Amino acid sequence: MNLLPIFLKLKDARVLVVGGSALAQAKTEVLLEAGATVSVVAPKLELRIRELAGDGRIHWHARRFEAADVLGNMLVFAATGIAEVDRQVAKESRAAGILCNAVDDPAYCDFYSPAVVRRGDLQIAISTNGQSPALAQQVRKRLEQQFEAGWAGRVDELGRQRQTVLRSTPPGEHRTEVLHALARAALEQHLDQEHEGSKQGKVYFVGAGPGAADLLTVRALRLLQQAEVVLHDELVSDEVKALLPAKALVLNVGRRCGQPGVPREIVYELMIRFANANRRVVRLKCGDPAIFARLGEEMDAMREAGVNFEIIPGVTAGLAAAAAAQISLTDRRLASNVVFTTANLAYGQQDWDQRFTNEITLVIYMPGRDFGGLATRLVAAGASPQTPCAVISRISTPAQEVSGMMLEALAQFRAKQSPSVVIVGEVVDRLLDHSEFLNASAQIAAVAEV
């Protein structure tokens, strides 16, 4: 089949219809719907076309076809029902370099008018290369049942979501993957009946842990291996992602601090659509889903949409960092309290002058790269410059680094890698007594090799 399927923009384009039959009427109405400027040449017209002419919607030339009629038109339709006339129209059009469709006469057609399913901006065209227009019509009827009228609104919604993604996500393969995932989710929700009745779609918020795959819980591992759709954070390790099924749709929906990424409302939409399509959706989050991972907002979105969900806890980075540095966060001889916070919450939004004491262990997530600024603010909030602290980077991976120092020295510290967790408090003092822990990357690498 040497055909090129295309959709022509016909708004205000001049198109000629030769003939006043019922066939000509059908072509005329379709052309007007597409916004074309239509001229009809025919000695007489069917009632409906006559009404269109009377309303001024078409230009009617009440006479027989003349060769010059084709000039200046973008397309020509020959629909008189008289083979000799229609073929003459086709010949004159071709001589003038204008595409012509001689209705029901494939040899004299430069293009075909397909059977079309129209749902707003969604249009599905079906052609049999002129072999069986009846089959094309039957296929159209089947598709109309599958793509009901509500698809017009869904396409509009996808268009709005596409603009949101285009504004927020840089050009490239990842943006293309996000757009295709949105379209696939919309399509599967309303068309895929494969799993209907066999199981119920659900979202699982799964903690991926700090990086090492063997720190996953048994339940998390089981769900990852059964997942059909996985929407993961930026920092989920390759080691964990390697456990995902080959057939699963895997999409990175995370972002790094200060960098563009997939908008949250798009992530919600993907979870909701795929769950409503009876898919097992895993929202894979670094560490533990409930610790600084926006879990509350995502749960609210699922509740509002009526989507079932479950939370599978993971090893949070703060606990893994303490384990890597062999620190007991609540050593009863040194600290009776432990506070998990972020660099933004560690100062300014809490009264640390009243709460920062020697008995508190502070675990700071997402400290950024300005350790000097962090140290200055912690001292201003009541911490002693002689307070021990540790920076643990790339936790539980072969590239892990553990560095210990006094808070006053943190200002000059430069982490070689990120992300990092900072632990501040007297419980870190024992780390400083053991210099072999000041850089544990070699130990971790050796264990990985074994």
Show Cβ contacts of residue 6 under 8 Å, excluding neighbours closer than 6 positions.
none
Lowest mean pLDDT among 52-61, 165-174, 184-193, 347-356: 347-356
Q: How far apart are the C-alpha atoms of 274 and 296, rounded to whole Å?
A: 20
Domains contained in the chain, CATH given: 14-113 (3.40.50.720), 155-312 (3.40.1010.10), 318-449 (3.30.950.10)
Structure-model confidence comparison of residues 402 and 260, the more confident one: 402
Q: From start to end of 355-441, where are the E strands?
A: 360-365, 388-393, 401-406, 420-424
Query: Helices 264-276 and 151-168 meet at what angle, rounded to 10?
Result: 140
Q: Report the C-alpha dihedral over residues 78, 79, 84, 88, rounded to 10 degrees.
A: -10
Question: From the CB of residue 241, how many other CB atoms can be counted at a distance below 10 Å?
Answer: 16
Q: How confident is the model at residue 444 (pLDDT cuts 50, 70, 90)?
A: very low
Q: What is the mean pLDDT of the chain?
A: 88
Name the β-bridge partners of 18: 41, 78
What's the confidence (pLDDT) of residue 258? 60
Element (H, E) at 417: none
Look at residue 198 and tell me whether its pLDDT is greater than 70.
Answer: no
Look at residue 385 and tell me whether its pLDDT is greater than 50.
Answer: yes
Q: Which residue in this structure is represented by tokens 């002129």?
A: 130
Look at residue 126 and tell me whether its pLDDT is greater than 80.
Answer: yes
pTM: 0.80
**389 close to 348: Cβ distance less than 8 angstroms:** no
Look at residue 55 and tell me whether its pLDDT is greater than 90.
Answer: yes
